[in-house]
Structure 1
Amino acid sequence: MEPGEADEAAVTREVAEETGLSVTVGRLVGTVERSAPNGVFLILDYECQVTSGVLRAGDDASDVAWADSATLATLPTTDGLLEALSGWNCLPRA
């Protein structure tokens, strides 16, 4: 987040930068804390609805794709991601 930036504005900006998609930001679905070199990152995860754009990988990723639950189960993920998404009822549908 940029200094003074509201959550909704930060989510909208970051999603556009990282995926090429424009979204409407919805409800907060959960939070996660991750260790960082100088403390802890608090990550706030929001539900979003795509309104426009073409999915593309940002400059820090080699690829991007929409994934159903079967595909997601085959992909390497960050420790705890699938458990968090399941607990928040946010896993992709079949």
Structure 2
Amino acid sequence: MDTDPDRSAVDCVGALVYDEQRRLLLIQRGHAPDEGSWSLPGGRVEPGESDPEAVVREVAEETGITIEVGDLVGTVERHGPNGTLYLIRDYEAERTGGTLKPGDDARDARFVNRDEFDALPKATLLASTLAQWNALPG
């Protein structure tokens, strides 16, 4: 873990949401970092917000669906512009409703199977991280 006191750390969350065929919900990022690449839905934790509240809000904003947040799957660190360090906690989540449509800073949102996942341009280290967590789509 980077402990440089001059480095700005940003608390973030993400969601691993699967459908009945174990396809994984991904969004195509509309902004930096990794603009144009595919990633898990998620984003910054707002002041006073719990991780589960942030996950629910971010998934709704980016995909239009509602979720129930489950267990923490894992934590990753990603370096961003200007020395920013993103501390990302990814949670299991189950879809409970809503209509899937891209919103907020997402260009697109969809459930993908393993072949589709492998073919997409993905955010840095997404595939290897999901593989480590045994969380790749079916």
Fold equivalence (TM over 0.5): yes
Higher relative contact order at CA 8 Å, sep ≥6: structure 1 or structure 2? 2
Partner of 1:28: 72
Q: What is the 5 A alignment of 1:1-94?
A: 1-36=45-80, 37-93=82-138
Higher helix share: 1
Give the C-alpha shift of residue 16 in structure 1.
0.5
- Is 2:114–2:136's contact at 8 Å kept on the other side of the alignment? yes
Count of matched residue positions in the alignment of Structure 1 and Structure 2: 93
- Structure 1 SS opposite 2:74: strand
Q: Deviations along 1:36-75, whole A, 9 cap, x unmatched? A: 3243110110010000011111132322211000111110
With over 3 angstroms needed to count, the CA separation of the structure-2 counterparts of 1:8 and 1:59, relative to structure 1, is closer
For structure 2, the residue ranges without an aligned partner over 5 or more in a row are 1-44
* Greater strand fraction, Structure 1 or Structure 2: 2
Distance 1:6 1:59 in 2: 20
Deviations 1:21-47 (A, max 9, x none): 100000111111111324311011001
Q: Is the 8 A contact 2:62 2:109 kept in 1?
A: no
Q: What percentage of aligned pairs have identical amino acids?
A: 48
CA distance in 1, matches of 2:106, 2:56: 18
